[in-house]
Amino acid sequence: MSTGGFSAAPGADIADGVEIGAGTRIWHLAQVREGAVIGEECIIGRGAYIGSGVRMGRRCKVQNHALVYEPAVVGDGVFIGPAAVLTNDTFPRAVAPDGSLKTADDWEAVGVELGDGCSIGARAVCIAPVRIGRWAMVAAGAVVASDVPDFALVAGVPARRRGWVGRAGRPLIQDGAVFRCPDTGAAYREVDGVLIEESQED
């Protein structure tokens, strides 16, 4: 199916009232719920789930079977790896204390926020409410339970910072007081636990 400038494979489940940008491709068995907004030139992989009201920027890649629960906010150029999960329930229970089945009115959804250019590795879990910073990298299988700074590389259960990465996604190499990207040569400096691109200091 192709409509409004985006394309969807047979078997994709796209609800009414969804906004999808031109050039976006949605693959087989993916589900996009009502009220979701997906930007231009995104790729939504096979079996991926995009929840009601999720807002996603341009040129994002959501890999096969990733689960993006509402009310997540996803920046531009974000990578969400296979089977990664963005949660939305701080204290999940199927039933109330009296044993009755809980409904949507019995809890308040909280979201994960993903900054521009960040990457979430395969099978990683981001536990809402949490923010992943711009160009940060979450390693495969990590469980993120606290905010991640811009450009941070985090791994483990729970996830902890193991280094810094640049816009190319490669770990930065420390050269005195400067951190450099081995691919692009871009320079960064750490100031009070925050990584700053040198070109942005002016």
Both 73 and 136 in one domain: the answer is yes
Q: Which amino acid is at 54?
A: V
Both 148 and 173 in one domain: the answer is no
Residue 200 is classified by DSSP as G
Both 44 and 104 in one domain: the answer is yes
Kindly report whether the peptide bond that precedes residue 92 is cis, defined as omega within 30 degrees of 0. Answer: no
How high does pLDDT run on average in the chain? 94
Which residues face 161 on adjacent strands?
A: 154
Question: What percent of the chain lies above the pLDDT cut of 90?
Answer: 89
Residue 94 and residue 75 in contact, taking contact as beta carbons nearer than 8 Å: no
Both 120 and 23 in one domain: the answer is yes
Closest to 128 measured CA to CA, from 48, 198, 69: 69
Both 176 and 145 in one domain: the answer is no
Both 138 and 186 in one domain: the answer is no
pLDDT tens for 23-65 read 999 999 999 999 999 999 999 999 999 999 999 999 999 999 9
Both 150 and 127 in one domain: the answer is yes
Question: Cα separation of 113 and 71, whole Å?
Answer: 9
Question: Cα separation of 44 and 55, whole Å?
Answer: 13
How high is the pLDDT of residue 104?
A: 82
- Which residue do the tokens 């979430």 mark? 120
How much of the chain is helix, strand and coil, in % rounded to 5? 5, 35, 60
Question: Cα separation of 172 and 188, whole Å?
Answer: 9
Both 191 and 96 in one domain: the answer is no
Both 90 and 182 in one domain: the answer is no
pLDDT bin (cut points 50, 70, 90) of residue 198 is: confident
Both 174 and 154 in one domain: the answer is no
Contacts with 11 (C-beta within 8 Å, 6 or more apart), sequence order: 28, 29
Closest to 84 measured CA to CA, from 48, 53, 51, 34: 48
pLDDT tens for 132-158 read 999 999 999 999 999 999 999 999 999
- Residue 96 pLDDT greater than 80, yes or no: yes
Look up the domain containing 90 and give its range.
2-165
How high is the pLDDT of residue 201?
A: 44
Q: What mean pLDDT is predicted for residues 112-135?
A: 98
Both 155 and 194 in one domain: the answer is no
Both 145 and 182 in one domain: the answer is no
Query: How many domains would you assign to the chain?
Result: 2
- Residue 2 pLDDT greater than 80, yes or no: no
Residue 123 is part of a domain; what is its CATH number?
2.160.10.10
Beta pairing class for 152-155 and 130-132:
unpaired
Question: What percent of the chain lies above the pLDDT cut of 70?
Answer: 96
How high is the pLDDT of residue 62?
A: 98
